[in-house]
Structure 1
Amino acid sequence: MKRVLYVLILIVKILEVTLATTRIVLITKGERVKGAIIGFFEVIIWVLLISTVLKDITEDPIKIFIYAIGFSVGNYIGSLVEEKIGIGTTRVELIVKEEHGQALASNIREHGFAVTVINGEGMNFNRFVMISHVQRKRTKEFINIVRACQENVVITVSEIKPIYGGYGILRK
């Protein structure tokens, strides 16, 4: 009977922390209503779980360790879930030699991404600086397209807050 309780505590704690991680990400990405809804269920689960763990804790301190393991595993799984969901937008900046710029920009556009091209000067060559706002869940796909077309490119990726307007981006 105790083993079933331990497994139940572990599974429920993993679920609760996974929800908490998702809630925090949603709120920081501007999805406050979805975050609040998840938070409602998260608190219900937490209250039920903590009351189970604290009941007769002095006679069964193993529940503390099971709870802590669930918390740790829940953080890990929550981060994997959040990465898979890929909520948000990234700004991808590319720096390439001027002679490679037009072909790369065309290739990016052919794959359905928008790109803004700016003329720049590097140490030894003229450069193109390219900026794209990409849905976070498509960032790896975008980078793979860039690398397949152009090997010698400097790529930086930054997460950005929700944006307003732009081609192919959800408007808030």
Structure 2
Amino acid sequence: MIDIILIFLIQIVFVPILTLRTIFMVKSEKEKASFVGALEALVYIFGVSLVLSGEQSIGQMIAYALGFGIGIYIGGIIENKLAIGYTTYNVNLQSHNIELIEKLRFEGYGVTVYEGQGRDSERYKLEILTKRSSEPKLEWIIEEYEPKAFIISYEPRKFKGGFLVKAMKKRLNVKKQKELKL
């Protein structure tokens, strides 16, 4: 019975680690992916040695499968809490909502405004790049100022130049300067 519980717990630990390693690789965070990958391998080897030592039972197989499924769920929760990376929002408006645009810029979001022609009238599109951790605040502001906005979001893989990249480089340089002083 102890083996079944251990297998279950190992899977609950292993799968979230695997999830995070995969996400770090996709986000091009190789150093973090390497560290988490080494931890993943350690947990995996321990789990496999436990499963393969002795006779396997149906209980062990079920524990492995259930632990895997619950581990995926927990990995998803952890990833959502960490909110690694950036998201681009395309916000389509029926009117040129200056208050919304100014509020977003005041809150530090880089906003580019496009004017276009919809089926029935002119439309305005806001393009906003934000950290994933800032998504809830961004969505709240948009909802407050423009509840009928049509919003599409996606994760960009690469970006170069622009407002946000300059701000990130500035923060990175400040961080490096602080590290050098220590």
Q: Which runs of 5+ in 1 are unaligned?
A: none
Matched residues in 2 for 1:163 and 1:57: separation? 53
Aligned length in residues? 168
1:65 is matched with 62
Deviation of 1:57 after TM superposition, in Å, equals 2.4
Equivalent residues of 1:93, 1:132 under 8 A apart: yes
Once the two structures are aligned, what percentage of the paired residues are identical? 26
Secondary structure at the counterpart of residue 164 of structure 1: coil
Distance apart, 1:102 and its partner CA: 1.6
Q: Which residue of 2 aligns with 1:55?
A: 53
SS in 2 for 1:87: coil
8 A Cα contact 1:30 1:162, kept in partner: no
Instruction: For 2:124, give the aligned amino acid.
Output: F
Aligned partner of residue 115 in structure 2, secondary structure? strand
CA contact (8 A) 2:86 2:155 kept: yes
Q: Which amino acid aligns with 2:17?
A: L
> 1:48 offset after TM fit, Å?
1.1
* Aligned-CA RMSD value: 1.7
Structure 1 residue matching 2:110: 3-state secondary structure: coil
| Matched ranges for 1:46-125 at <5 A | 46-58=44-56, 60-98=57-95, 100-125=96-121
Q: Deviations over 1:82-127 (max 9, x none)?
A: 11111111110111123x4222111111222110111211222222
C-alpha distance in structure 2 between counterparts of 1:53 and 1:8, whole Å: 10
Distance 1:15 1:162 in 2: 31
Taking structure 1 as the reference length, what is the TM-score of the superposition? 0.89
TM-score normalised by the chain length of structure 2: 0.85
Q: Distance in 2 between matches of 1:41 and 1:96?
A: 47
Q: Which of the two has greater helix per residue?
A: 2
**SS of structure 2 residue aligned to 1:160:** coil
Cα distance in 1 for partners of 2:102, 2:65 equals: 52
Contact 2:114-2:124 within 8 A present in 1 as well: yes
Runs of 5+ in structure 2 lacking a partner?
173-182
Deviation at 1:131, TM superposition (A): 0.2
